Structure 1
Amino acid sequence: MQTKPTFAPQLVIPNGVTDISFYLKAFGATELRRFSNDDGTIHVSELSINGTLFHLHEQTGHSAAVSPDKNNGTTVTIGLFVDDVYAVVARAVEAGATITSPVQDYDYGYRQGDIRDPFGHLWMIEKVI
């Protein structure tokens, strides 16, 4: 049986994080499971947005992946397709995101707005129009 390839991004967060409620409030994510460190901080959290998985993983010394604050930036923008771009961007801002590019319609047929989440990850909230 062949498995259909799927993406499950792993977003690196700083060490010592305990509150990831941004993703639940902004995107309606559900936390499926969590692996905590002895001090209660998050080692790994597995989340789902409408059945699409992604993980938050604390920064570790044995990985080349670092949280965006380590280099004051990131090389990845996560595209999230939604029904109402304006509403999701507004919820994300209310939950702690900052707008890096306001919502607008583009001549190539997309409505898009860019935000930076509280951990520095960039998200492009978008819809085909």
Structure 2
Amino acid sequence: MAELTPYICVADSRAAIEWYRAHLGAEVVVDPIVMDDGHVGHCELAVDGARWMMSDAFESAGVAPPDPGRGNAVTLHLTVSDVDALCRRVHDAGATVDRAPEDNPPIGRLAVFHDPFGHRWFLNQPLPEHEPVPESLPEPD
């Protein structure tokens, strides 16, 4: 089985853990591993089973948080049950909403935001499936 798990870097993992817990509803699934210098070397979080890994910056390994002066090379895509509620929650918590919630069939209801740590998130909520409308049949002769 293949799996792809994002591994993000932030300037302050402790603050990011608390923000993601409070505002995305994330849970810590692997406790932070704290390095000798006090930086977080690794931790793992999840929202409804959607996992990501995270660490503080490590210059020696070429790992750095997003540069606010550049665009994001990666967007984190998170499927949620209520895009509107989550978008309001992250906005109220200091996130920048780049794209307000809107329906975009067939993708679903979506929104895009930047968290306070510079990461770009794409929120997606599947739209309810609609029964196809049957084409009208010609009248019998």
Which residue in the other structure is 1:69 paired with?
Answer: 67
For each residue in 1:2-58, what CA deviation from the matched residue of structure 2 results, as whole angstroms up to 9, or x when unmatched?
xx21221101112x5431211111221111211123454422221121222211112
Whether the aligned pair in 2 keeps the contact of 1:22 and 1:96 (CA below 8 Å) is: no
Report 1:1-129 matches (<5 A): 4-14=1-11, 16-20=12-16, 21-32=18-29, 33-38=31-36, 40-69=38-67, 72-129=70-127
Task: Extract unaligned runs of 5+ from structure 2.
Answer: 128-141
- State the 4+ residue runs in structure 1 displaced beyond 4 angstroms: none
Task: Extract unaligned runs of 5+ from structure 1.
Answer: none
Structure having greater relative contact order (Cα 8 Å, sep ≥ 6): 1
Displacement after TM superposition at 1:109 (Å):
4.0
Whether the aligned pair in 1 keeps the contact of 2:39 and 2:56 (CA below 8 Å) is: no
TM value normalised by structure 1: 0.83
In 1: Cα distance, 2:52 partner to 2:64 partner: 16
Aligned residue identity for 1:27: L
Structure number, greater radius of gyration: 2
More strand by share: 1
Q: For residue 3 of structure 2, give the secondary structure of its aligned residue in structure 1.
A: coil
User: Number of matched residues?
Assistant: 125
In 1: Cα distance, 2:44 partner to 2:13 partner: 14
CA 1:118–1:111 in 2, change beyond 3 Å: closer, same or farther?
Answer: same
Aligned residue identity for 2:44: E
**Identity within the alignment, %:** 26
For each residue in 1:73-122, what CA deviation from the matched residue of structure 2 results, as whole angstroms up to 9, or x when unmatched?
32111110011100111111223211011111114342110010111000
Supply the RMSD in Å over aligned alpha carbons: 2.0
